[in-house]
C-alpha cells in the first residue's frame, strides 16, 4: 500500500528523528546556535576547545574547566606506533579522507581507545589533527612532528604540518574556521554517527561512519570544488562572466551556492566572507575578488536572492584554507577536523537516551511474483 503523499519524505527531508539540545538552525532568520549560544558570538569571542566543551557539556566552561579539558586533549594527541604506521605508509595517491577514516577506526586496535565513551571521544578529538598533519608530512617526504602539550588544536595542526612555530594570526583564523564547522544539526554525517551509535556500537565506529558520509561530494566536497573553480578562472583565458556562462550552458552547477536548510545567507558564511576578504587584502591574493565577481554575475543573470539561494559556507572556506597552505584535497578532512567536536557531542547525546534508529522505506516494487524453478526459466535476451 502506498502512503499518502503528505507523509512520504524521500531523503527524510523535514522528518524529525531525534530530540537534541546541541545545535539549533533557523534557516529563515538565519541563525545557528550551539547549546543556545549564537555561533557569531562564539566566532568573535570563543575558541575551538571552548566550543567543543560547550557542545559536550551544555554550558560554557570556567577557566578551570577549560584548563582540565585542554589537558585531557593534550594527553591524547599522540598516535600509537600502529596508527602512525597506517598513516605514513599510505600510498601517495591515497584519498586523505580514506586515510583519516582508516586511522581513526584503527585506534582501538592498538590499545589506545580509553575505557569509556567519553575517553574515546576525547581521543577522536585529540588525534584527528595529528593524523592529518602526519599524512601531510608523509606526502611531502618528511617525518611526522610530535604534538606539543602547550599548543591548541589549531596551533598543533599548523605546527605538526610545518615543523615551525605557528603564527598567531594563522592559528586564530584556523581556530575560528574549526569552530564554525563544529556542528550543524542532523546533516548526513552527523545522522550517520547517531544511527551507528543507536546500535550500541562504539565511538570509533560511529565517527568512522561519519567520515565516510562526509567524504561524499554532495556533503563535504563543495569547498574543494569552489577552490578548483577559482583556480581555473585565474589560470584560464576566460573572464569570470564567460567562464560561468559556458559552465551553465553545459548544464554544470556552480558550487558554493544554496543550502538545504538556509533560505538566507548562512551565518557561518558571513564570518568566512569577512575573513576571506581580509586575508586576500593582506596577501594580495585574487580569491575574494573572484568570488565577488562570481556572486555578482549569478545574481544579475539568475536572480538568486529572489529564489532564496544564497552563498553558503563553502564559497568562502576554501579560499581561507588555501591561504593557510592547506592542500585542496585536505579541505574536506579539515571539515572533518572541525566537525569531530559535533560528531562526538551527538554520539554522546544519542547514547545518553538511546533508541535504535529504524526507519522504513516506502515499497514501490511488485507483489505476487511467482517463483519459477531455475530449470524452467527461459534465458532473457539482453
Examine the residue annotation and report whether 181 is marked as an active-site residue of this protein.
no
* C-alpha to C-alpha distance for 227 and 210, rounded to whole angstroms: 24
Name the active-site residue from 112, 175, 266, 314.
Answer: 314
β-strands 31-34, 37-38 pairing: antiparallel
Residue with cell 576547545: 49
Contacts of 143 by beta carbon, 8 Å cutoff, 6+ apart: 137
Question: In angstroms, rounded to a whole number, what is the distance separating the alpha carbons of residues 199 and 194?
Answer: 9
Own/partner contacts of 196-201, CB < 8 Å, gap of 24 or more, are: 197/346, 197/347, 197/350, 197/351, 197/354, 198/350, 198/354, 198/355, 198/356, 198/357, 199/356, 200/351, 200/354
**Which residue in 26, 38, 219, 293 is the catalytic one?**
219
Q: List the beta bridge partners of residue 366.
A: none
For helices 267-283 and 313-323, give the axis angle rounded to 10 degrees.
30
Report CA-CA distances (Å) from 378 to 369, 371, 372, 375: 16, 13, 10, 8
Are the beta carbons of 338 and 112 closer than 8 angstroms? no
Three cell numbers, residue 91: 600510498
Helix (H) or strand (E) holding 241: helix 240-249
259 catalytic? Reply is: yes
**What beta strand segments (E) does the chain contain?**
23-26, 31-34, 37-38
Query: Is 184 among the residues known to form the active site?
Result: no
Query: Of 184, 225, 259, 266, which one is the catalytic site residue?
Result: 259
Residue 114 neighbours by CB distance under 10 Å: 16
Task: Give the distance between the most distant pair of CA atoms in the chain.
Answer: 77
Active site residues: 219, 259, 314
Amino acid at each position: 500500500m502506498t502512503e499518502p503523499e503528505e507523509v512520504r519524505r524521500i531523503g527524510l527531508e523535514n522528518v524529525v528523528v531525534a530530540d537534541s539540545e546541541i545545535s539549533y538552525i533557523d534557516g529563515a532568520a538565519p541563525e545557528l546556535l550551539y547549546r543556545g549560544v549564537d555561533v557569531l558570538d562564539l566566532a568573535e569571542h570563543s575558541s575551538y576547545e571552548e566550543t567543543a566543551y560547550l557542545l559536550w557539556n551544555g554550558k560554557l566552561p570556567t577557566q578551570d574547566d577549560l584548563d582540565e579539558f585542554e589537558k585531557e586533549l593534550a594527553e591524547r594527541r599522540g598516535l600509537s606506533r600502529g596508527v602512525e604506521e597506517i598513516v605514513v605508509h599510505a600510498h601517495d595517491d591515497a584519498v586523505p579522507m580514506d586515510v583519516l577514516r582508516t586511522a581513526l577506526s584503527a585506534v582501538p586496535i592498538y590499545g589506545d581507545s580509553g575505557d569509556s565513551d567519553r575517553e574515546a571521544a576525547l581521543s577522536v578529538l585529540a588525534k584527528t589533527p595529528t593524523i592529518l598533519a602526519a599524512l601531510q608530512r608523509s606526502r611531502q617526504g618528511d617525518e611526522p612532528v610530535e604534538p606539543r602539550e602547550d599548543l591548541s588544536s589549531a596551533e598543533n595542526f599548523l605546527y605538526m604540518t610545518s615543523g615551525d612555530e605557528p603564527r598567531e594570526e594563522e592559528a586564530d583564523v584556523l581556530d575560528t574556521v574549526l569552530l564554525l564547522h563544529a556542528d550543524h544539526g542532523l546533516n548526513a554525517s552527523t545522522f550517520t554517527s547517531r544511527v551507528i551509535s543507536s546500535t550500541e556500537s562504539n565511538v570509533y565506529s560511529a565517527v568512522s561512519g561519519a567520515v565516510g558520509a562526509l567524504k561524499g561530494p554532495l556533503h563535504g566536497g563543495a569547498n574543494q570544488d569552489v577552490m578548483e573553480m577559482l583556480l581555473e578562472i585565474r589560470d584560464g583565458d576566460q573572464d569570470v562572466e564567460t567562464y560561468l556562462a559556458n559552465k551553465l550552458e553545459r548544464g554544470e552547477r556552480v558550487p558554493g551556492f544554496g543550502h538545504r536548510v538556509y533560505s538566507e545567507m548562512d551565518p557561518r558564511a558571513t564570518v568566512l566572507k569577512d575573513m576571506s576578504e581580509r586575508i586576500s587584502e593582506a596577501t594580495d591574493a585574487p580569491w575574494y575578488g573572484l568570488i565577488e565577481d562570481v556572486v555578482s554575475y549569478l545574481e544579475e543573470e539568475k536572480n538568486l536572492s529572489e529564489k532564496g539561494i544564497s552563498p553558503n559556507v563553502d564559497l568562502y572556506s576554501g579560499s581561507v584554507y588555501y591561504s593557510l597552505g592547506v592542500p585542496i584535497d585536505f579541505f574536506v578532512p579539515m571539515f572533518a577536523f572541525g566537525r569531530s567536536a559535533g560528531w562526538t557531542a551527538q554520539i554522546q547525546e544519542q547514547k545518553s537516551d538511546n533508541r535504535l534508529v529504524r526507519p522504513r522505506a516506502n515499497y514501490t516494487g511488485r507483489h505476487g511474483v511467482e517463483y519459477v524453478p531455475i530449470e524452467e526459466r527461459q534465458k532473457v535476451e539482453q
